[in-house]
Amino acid sequence: MRPLLSLCLAVFLAAPTLFADFAQADQTPIIDYRTRFLPQVAQHGMVAGPEKLAAEIGVDILRRGGNAVDAAVATGFALAVTYPRAGNIGGGGFMLVHLAEENRQLVIDYRETAPAAAGSALFLDEKGEVDRRKEFFSRASAGVPGSVAGLTLALEKYGTMSLKEVMQPAIALARDGFEVSYALNYEIGSRAERLLQDPVARKLFFHEDGSRYGIGETWRQPELAWTLQHIADKGRDGFYKGEVARRIAADMAANDGLITEADLAGYRALERKPVRGTYGDFEIVAPPPPSSGGVHIIQMLNILEGYDLAALGHNSAAYLHLLAESMKRAYADRSEYLADPDFYPVPVAKLIDKQYAAKLRKTIDPKRATPPEEIAPGRHMPGESTDTTHYTVADRHGNVVTNTYTLNFSFGSHIAVPGTGMLLNNEMADFAARPGHTNAFGLREGAANKIEPGKRPLSSMTPTLVMRDGKPWLATGSPGGSIIITAVMQTALNAMTFDMNIASAAAAARIHNQWLPDRVAVESGISPDTIKLLQDMGHTVETSPRTLGRTQSIMLSDGWLYGATDTRRPGGWVAGY
Ligand code: DON
């Protein structure tokens, strides 16, 4: 009786009240009960994201006849208001779009760029050491923001509604305010110390006496509403030119920042071809450089394809060992070969080549962890040449958008631009401040990713689409810096190899290894005897104090949409109809 009771409780907890709405769909959906957690189900359209109001705004756009791109752009601007730790207009990201009618996928790269005045020694002090304060928490740490260019480009090219229509809900929320949720209160509280140090951020996020908004209190952002209205009225020029641009540039000039009006006017979001790979019968579609995510998720899956993972058993020591070993090899290559492809010839084809994976697989001992010093970035490339957020949208036409964007850290540099309500990103920290050394996520990075004017810093953002029988089957993505790639891969593997429904695939405990530092981070939920077996193989295992990513996923199957917001962090929501 007891196991049955806990099973019922787990199901109940994993199926929030929204489930009642979905049950009112015309037919009863077929729910996959094979594993413990239940996904949300909808028939016509769905948004899975980190915050409720923004997810509901996206679904409302879908209900009104908008397509997945319209909804994604509306959700993106709404999150800039309701989820300030990572939703943004001052940051950048990658949007992966599947267009059902053309059966085509594309990536919008709206990663920030280094300002024209940025040089490779930007963050080095007189001794040649990295000045971490400057790298993380100064105006110099801001790249030229890409989010407004990315979202407006997506809408212009692939949306159906006007910018005014899709931005109206975000503007209303900023102007009229909304009730502070438990999650928002917590997020601001957890970063209060640093946010209070910037007078503009202090005014934005706190009462005059420095106390924070309580749960249920109304929080208004009139300056952000002003900025959003400029964008709605004038399109991208409302941000990159005119008064908003002047305010950003003036604040930079007065405070040792680098971004000028010319940098802003010159920013371009780019449309790129995704990288593609296969894993058994599945096709993986993900962003190309300057994200490292697509290349390495495919590289790791190529290595893992050579094993019968299902036979090893989900999260068994033998399985986790192979995951960790393939991760190490991919991150070693990342440290050397990944960067902005417009500045460095990234050997993408070689890295995602199945034969290269086969060579790497041969170096894996199934019983022993390879010490990191025995793994070097591959030497045979011919011609060698912690906060982000993710949301996923699907519409009734079969279009899918999976979008990851960020200010880099939670609340970016914790510095806001006067008169705009906008936080600055600290994305310049994703460059190699000192090649050969580690960055904020402990990732070692090479000269390929050194700072150069106009260059995009290397990213790990991995909005991913898994195709089955030529159609989108699973769309997912995650925050987590370097952890993003491995979190997304494990979520996909849980569904592809272990046949989990999307809620269970998202909930299952994950691990992460990034070559250096030499340790396997594990979430609670990996059993002590499994950890012991991994240690016996030579792995240094550490239970992670942080969650390893936070996925937002939609699975498309049997004509139904199955959604899952990762329950690792509070406030996530799946909205559907
Ligand atoms: O682009 C990247 O890889 C990082 N700037 C992402 C940062 C991040 O995910 C922080 N979140 N927890």
Tell me the C-alpha distance between 249 and 261, whole Å.
6
- Annotated catalytic residue, options 82, 152, 227, 388: 388
What mean pLDDT do residues 226-233 have? 98
SS3 of residue 27 by DSSP: coil
pLDDT given at position 13: 46
Instruction: Match 């958008």 to its residue by tokens.
Output: 401
Which residue in 489, 476, 475 sits closest to 304, CA to CA? Answer: 489
With a 6 Å cutoff on the Cβ, whether 388 touches ligand 1 is yes
What mean pLDDT do residues 431-440 have? 90
Tell me the C-alpha distance between 115 and 481, whole Å.
22
Secondary structure percentages of the chain, helix, strand, coil, to 5: 40, 20, 40
Using one digit for the tens of pLDDT, what is the confidence trace for 486-528?
999 999 999 999 999 999 999 999 999 999 999 999 999 999 9
Using one digit for the tens of pLDDT, what is the confidence trace for 458-473?
999 999 999 999 999 9
pLDDT given at position 22: 46
Among the residue ranges 137-141, 184-188, 382-386, 450-454, the one predicted with the least confidence is 382-386
Tell me the C-alpha distance between 561 and 62, whole Å.
14
With a 6 Å cutoff on the Cβ, whether 305 touches ligand 1 is no
With a 6 Å cutoff on the Cβ, whether 406 touches ligand 1 is yes
Tell me the C-alpha distance between 522 and 548, whole Å.
8
Judge whether 565 counts as a catalytic residue: no
Spatial CB neighbours of 241, under 8 Å, sequence gap ≥ 6: 261, 264, 265
With a 6 Å cutoff on the Cβ, whether 461 touches ligand 1 is yes
Q: Per residue, what are the HEC states of 157-208?
A: HHCCCCHHHHHHHHHHHHHHCEECCHHHHHHHHHCHHHHCCCHHHHHHHECC
Report the nearest-CA residue for atom 4 of ligand 1.
481
Confidence of residue 438 (pLDDT cuts 50, 70, 90): confident
pLDDT given at position 444: 86
Report the nearest-CA residue for atom 9 of ligand 1.
481
Distance (angstroms) between ligand 1 centre and the Cα of 405 equals 8
Confidence of residue 441 (pLDDT cuts 50, 70, 90): confident
Instruction: Match 């490779």 to its residue by tokens.
Output: 120
Using one digit for the tens of pLDDT, what is the confidence trace for 538-567?
999 999 988 999 999 999 999 999 999 999
Taken in order 289, 294, 298, 299, is the CA torsion positive or negative? positive
Using one digit for the tens of pLDDT, what is the confidence trace for 308-319?
999 999 999 999
Mutate to test the pocket of ligand 1, among 335, 388, 551 (most ligand atoms within 8 A of CB): 388
* Greater model confidence, 19 or 180: 180
pLDDT at 386 over 90: no
Q: Which is the closest atom of ligand 1 to the Cα of 484? A: 9
Spatial CB neighbours of 136, under 8 Å, sequence gap ≥ 6: 409, 413, 426, 429, 440
User: Taking the domains of the chain in order of start, what are their residue ranges?
Assistant: 53-268+419-445
With a 6 Å cutoff on the Cβ, whether 430 touches ligand 1 is yes
pLDDT at 27 over 70: no
Report the nearest-CA residue for atom 1 of ligand 1.
459
β-pair type (560-565, 40-42): antiparallel
pLDDT given at position 437: 86
β-pair type (560-565, 388-394): unpaired
Mutate to test the pocket of ligand 1, among 406, 407, 550, 566 (most ligand atoms within 8 A of CB): 406
pLDDT given at position 317: 98
Tell me the C-alpha distance between 227 and 232, whole Å.
9
Using one digit for the tens of pLDDT, what is the confidence trace for 3-17?
544 544 444 444 444
What mean pLDDT do residues 450-460 have? 98
Which residue in 80, 47, 42, 93 sits closest to 66, CA to CA? Answer: 47
With a 6 Å cutoff on the Cβ, whether 486 touches ligand 1 is no
Confidence of residue 30 (pLDDT cuts 50, 70, 90): low
Distance (angstroms) between ligand 1 centre and the Cα of 400 equals 22
Distance (angstroms) between ligand 1 centre and the Cα of 344 equals 21
Confidence of residue 377 (pLDDT cuts 50, 70, 90): confident
* Greater model confidence, 308 or 24: 308
- CB-count burial class (<10 Å; 0-12, 13-18, 19+) for 214: exposed
Distance (angstroms) between ligand 1 centre and the Cα of 388 equals 5
Tell me the C-alpha distance between 349 and 388, whole Å.
28
Q: Which is the closest atom of ligand 1 to the Cα of 386? A: 12
Cis bond leading into 287, ω under 30°? no
Using one digit for the tens of pLDDT, what is the confidence trace for 67-101?
999 999 999 999 999 999 999 999 999 999 999 99
Report the nearest-CA residue for atom 12 of ligand 1.
386
